[in-house]
């Protein structure tokens, strides 16, 4: 006897397999160097894993407080104050999350009502729009300026309506590696000041800003901090993307709403990792030194790209390098990435995948969070182009 599986109406009918999964699978199939998906191929600091191991051995294996281990929230509040000059109350304004993706979805669910609008700036990370749709809200896409990928404030202002509840920004920016300037953050503060629009600031690459520039967190600007939920990621900062531990900082009134959702979709996050991270944060050197670490990798990769026909675009932050492929191929970005993986043996991500309309400008994204030997092998293959 056969049994019927009842059909369901999808909440995300247009969502299929992500481009990251697709390209990583293709890279495995063709034994390509995977510079597509954004994760390191090197280990984290042994001191960090030792701190987590010690936490487990000391019995920190049961539920922590819903909002996160107190010691970790205190450490995060102290770190933000030291770097950005804004003091969050660790008790009421910091929550530990199961990575940044959960933080973003929870933040949107907490403050956005069905029928309201959320502005996102294209190209944007692929979880933003589905999260908005799951909240029953309408995503409103505003393009960053093509080529330079700077915010277009006239376009943002024009997109704000009485139904706009939230604006989502990302700096340092995935996929382009651009970093917002102080003038741009101040202009954003002025733009939002007369509105009731909240701000969701994705700052997971906060410690990867190069060439002597500073990360300009929304926390630095009082007018933004008062309306912002700021998302950060230990996975990105400490080379442990698989741990999926992040944080959100926000004014107490916003955080109270955030925690209402958080307690029912996650409740709380891995205890020994929280305890280990709290201990590890006692030494600021790992994140203070991170910009120089990744700048060296960026410079190594860009120097190699200079020997190819690919044109590197500006990369002021993150561990992603966007390149112009127009001198190499007239294929679409997606077709070029498939060809590059299959025939040259290097996987990349088309930037068109980050646009709602698939906008194609002959640019693809590489990840340089790799060992130098990995990057060198990729560069040797790219020199064949």
pLDDT at 256 over 90: yes
Q: pLDDT tens, 363-373?
A: 999 999 999 99
Q: pLDDT tens, 276-327?
A: 999 999 999 999 999 999 999 999 999 999 999 999 999 999 999 999 999 9
Q: pLDDT tens, 39-52?
A: 899 999 999 999 99
- Fold classification of 46-286 is 3.40.640
Output the pLDDT for position 37: 86
Please give the Cα distance from 76 to 92 (Å, whole number).
13
Q: pLDDT tens, 3-12?
A: 999 999 999 9
What's the CATH number of domain 19-44+288-382, 3.40.640.10, 3.90.1150.10, 1.10.150.250, 3.50.4.10?
3.90.1150.10
Output the pLDDT for position 92: 98
Beta strands 228-233 and 198-202 are parallel
Q: pLDDT tens, 154-174?
A: 999 999 999 999 999 999 999
Where in the chain are all domains bearing CATH 3.90.1150.10?
Answer: 19-44+288-382
Where in the chain are all domains bearing CATH 3.40.640.10?
Answer: 46-286
Q: pLDDT tens, 97-132?
A: 999 999 999 999 999 999 999 999 999 999 999 999
Per-residue pLDDT, averaged over 232-249, amounts to: 97
Per-residue pLDDT, averaged over 77-92, amounts to: 98
Token duo for residue 310: 């690919």
Handedness of CA 179, 183, 184, 185 (dihedral sign): positive
pLDDT at 14 over 90: no
At how many degrees (to 10) do helices 271-280 and 46-57 cross? 130
Question: 207 — alpha (psi -120 to 50), left (phi > 0) or beta?
Answer: alpha
pLDDT bin (cut points 50, 70, 90) of residue 21 is: confident
- In percent, the amount of the chain with pLDDT more than 90 equals 95
pLDDT bin (cut points 50, 70, 90) of residue 261 is: very high
pLDDT bin (cut points 50, 70, 90) of residue 195 is: very high
Cα–Cα nearest to 322, from 358, 279, 286, 353: 353
Question: Which one has a higher pLDDT value, 16 or 342?
Answer: 342
pLDDT at 16 over 90: no
pLDDT bin (cut points 50, 70, 90) of residue 18 is: confident
For every residue of 102-157, which 3-state class applies, written as one string? HHHHHHHHHHCCCCCEEEEEECCCCCHHHHHHHCCCEEEEEECCCCCCCCCHHHHH
Beta strands 311-312 and 320-324 are antiparallel
- Partnered with residue 131 across adjacent β-strands are none
Output the pLDDT for position 20: 85
Output the pLDDT for position 311: 97
Half-sphere exposure of 381 (CA within 13 A, CB side): 21
Q: pLDDT tens, 196-228?
A: 999 999 999 999 999 999 999 999 999 999 999
Token duo for residue 364: 């693809």
Average pLDDT score over the chain: 97
Residues 350, 19 contacting (CB under 8 angstroms) = yes
Please give the Cα distance from 249 to 69 (Å, whole number).
15
Output the pLDDT for position 319: 98
């Amino acid at each position: 006897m056969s049994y019927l599986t009842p059909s369901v109406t999808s909440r995300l009918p247009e969502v299929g397999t992500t481009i990251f999964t697709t390209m990583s699978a293709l890279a495995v199939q063709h034994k390509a160097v995977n510079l597509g998906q954004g994760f390191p191929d090197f280990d984290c600091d042994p001191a960090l894993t030792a701190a987590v191991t010690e936490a487990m051995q000391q019995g920190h294996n049961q539920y922590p407080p819903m909002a996160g281990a107190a010691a970790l929230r205190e450490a995060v509040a102290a770190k933000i104050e030291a770097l950005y000059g804004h003091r969050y109350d660790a008790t009421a304004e910091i929550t530990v999350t199961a990575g940044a993706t959960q933080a973003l979805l929870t933040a949107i669910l907490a403050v956005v009502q069905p029928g309201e609008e959320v502005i996102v700036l294209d190209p944007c990370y692929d979880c933003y729009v589905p999260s908005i749709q799951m909240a029953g809200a309408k995503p409103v896409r505003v393009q960053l300026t093509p080529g330079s990928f700077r915010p277009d404030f006239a376009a943002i202002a024009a997109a704000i309506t009485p139904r706009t509840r939230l604006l989502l920004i990302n700096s340092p920016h995935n996929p382009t590696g651009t970093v917002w300037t102080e003038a741009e953050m101040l202009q954003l503060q002025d733009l939002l000041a007369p509105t009731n629009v909240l701000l969701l600031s994705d700052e997971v690459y906060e410690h990867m800003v190069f060439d002597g520039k500073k990360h300009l967190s929304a926390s630095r600007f009082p007018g933004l901090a008062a309306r912002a939920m700021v998302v950060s990621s230990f996975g990105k900062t400490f080379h442990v993307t698989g741990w999926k531990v992040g944080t959100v900082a926000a004014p107490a009134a916003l955080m109270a709403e955030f925690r209402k959702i958080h307690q029912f979709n996650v409740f709380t996050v891995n205890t020994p990792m929280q305890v280990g991270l709290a201990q590890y944060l006692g030494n600021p050197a790992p994140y203070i030194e991170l910009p120089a670490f990744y700048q060296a990798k960026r410079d190594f990769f860009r120097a190699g790209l200079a020997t190819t026909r690919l044109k590197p675009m500006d990369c002021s932050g993150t561990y992603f390098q966007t390149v112009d492929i127009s001198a190499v191929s007239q294929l679409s970005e997606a077709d070029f990435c498939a060809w590059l993986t299959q025939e040259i043996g290097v996987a990349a991500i088309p930037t068109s995948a980050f646009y709602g309309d698939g906008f194609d400008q002959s640019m693809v994204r590489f990840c340089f969070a790799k060992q130098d030997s990995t990057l060198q092998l990729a560069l040797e293959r790219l020199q064949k182009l």
